[in-house]
Every structure is written in structure tokens, then in C-alpha cells.
Amino acid sequence: MNKQISPSIMCVAWLELKETIKAFEENGIEYIHVDIMDGSFVPNFTLGTDFVKALKSATNIPLDIHMMIENPESKLDWFQFGEGDYVAVHYESTPHIHRAVGAIKARGAKAMVAINPGTPICMLENLLDDIDAVLIMTVNPGFAGQKLVKATLKKISELREYLDANGYGHIEIEVDGNVSFENARLMSDAGANIFVAGTSSIFAKDGNLAENTAKLRDSIK
Ligand code: DX5
Ligand code: ZN
């Protein structure tokens, strides 16, 4: 499967936002990962509706919107997204996960379901006919700069194996959280193909964005 990079925009140096988006475009970045946090589903607040709107008008890079909010199915209409964009909703965030997936597809976007480190992959079974990707959280959602929860590596390989063996080979696997240059290699070997790049890779301080992108591409090739 095509290996793709989705930088986490919450990790950007805010006053350099415009230049960073330009650098994404120059470096062939495939998606921009946008973390939406509501202070309830996760213990943090981040980006919101106006930011997504501004981002959509600033670039043609498709968005990869990660909804860390309670009952996302009732809030999707607040956000601007459409064909080519990914929207991820958490399995744990609503009793109506299937309805949430349907609402994303009805808008023409690609549907992704996210699972926390403590949620087993079997919970996805009855959603597989309706989704385009699974987001395996490799840290507990809420903050950048955390350490990998090692047990999630096994979830990636077991899920990839299950998908391929059961006619779901087209479903992509995204990983989010401490996707460092070293961990990205392990995640890629396990079967992940979309990599959320944050403080531990693309925004790492010891290289610029072009150098870090090249290094990350080398880890996941
Ligand atoms: C949470 C975020 C974080 C983060 C990724 O959903 O997407 O995981 O920004 O970056 P690091 O590399 O800091 O974990
Ligand atoms: Zn995220």
C-alpha cells in the first residue's frame, strides 16, 4: 500500500503557519492531520471550525480531520470538509459510531474510525463494510510529545492481517502518536500506511521540514 505522511498541524510553530503549509506542498505531503479536541472526550482543547475553514481555503492538500469530541455525529455539519478529505471519529466517543460513519460518507468524504490504545481491534468488525481506514492510536489521545504504547504495534499487524485475509485489503491503517523515525519503521513493517507526523519526526528541532520529511520517508519505505 502507498505510504503517506500526514503532519499534525497542532505541532506547527503558529507564526510560521503559512510558510509551513508551503513547505508541505513543496515536499509532496499527502494529508494534513487536524486534531479537534473538545475538552471532554480528551483532556485538552485544540483546533476548531474556523481553523478548518481557513486551512481548506489555504491549500489543496486533503485534510485528515481527527475528531476527538463527544457524539461527533451531531457536530460534523459544523465543519467544512468534502471529497478527498478523511474524517476520523472515535469508536469510544459515541454509542452511534455507525451513524457517525454514515454521516461522513453522506458528505462525500472518506470515513476513518479511530480506536484508543485500550480498545481492541475486534470492535471494528461490523464497521468494515462502511469505512475506508482505521486510525490506530499509538498513544492515548490528547497531547503531542507522549511515548509510544508498545502494545499497539501488535494491534497494527493483527489488524492488517485480518483485513487482508477477509476481503478488506483496501482499508488503510493510519497511526497517530509518537511516530518517530524509529517507531515509524516498526509501524510500517507492522502494516500501517498513513503516518501522523508530529514533534517526534517532521517537526523535530534538529532538522528542517524537508530534511525530516526525507528521513521519515526513508523509515517507512
Ligand atoms: C493526537 C496528536 C498527537 C501529536 C502527534 O491526536 O495527533 O499524537 O500531534 O505528534 P507526536 O510526535 O508529538 O506524538
Ligand atoms: Zn491526531
pTM > 0.95: yes
197: confidence class by pLDDT, cuts 50, 70, 90:
very high
92: confidence class by pLDDT, cuts 50, 70, 90:
very high
Give me the sheet containing 172-176, strands edge to edge.
Answer: 4-7, 194-197, 172-176, 133-137, 110-115, 86-90, 63-68, 32-37
- Are the CB atoms for 67 and 89 separated by under 8 Å? yes
Report the mean per-residue pLDDT for the chain: 98
Testing ligand 1's pocket by substitution, the residue of 196, 201, 212 carrying the most ligand atoms inside 8 A of its CB is: 196
Domains in the chain, ordered, with CATH? 4-220 (3.20.20.70)
Residue 36, beta-bridge partner list: 67
Determine the average pLDDT of the residues in 202-215: 97
Testing ligand 1's pocket by substitution, the residue of 5, 6, 11, 149 carrying the most ligand atoms inside 8 A of its CB is: 11
Atom 10 (ligand 1): residue with closest C-alpha? 198
Which residue bears the cell 475528531? 67
> How close is the Cα of 174 to the center of ligand 1, in Å?
12
Q: How many residues does the chain have?
A: 221
User: Per-residue pLDDT tens for 110-136?
Assistant: 999 999 999 999 999 999 999 999 999
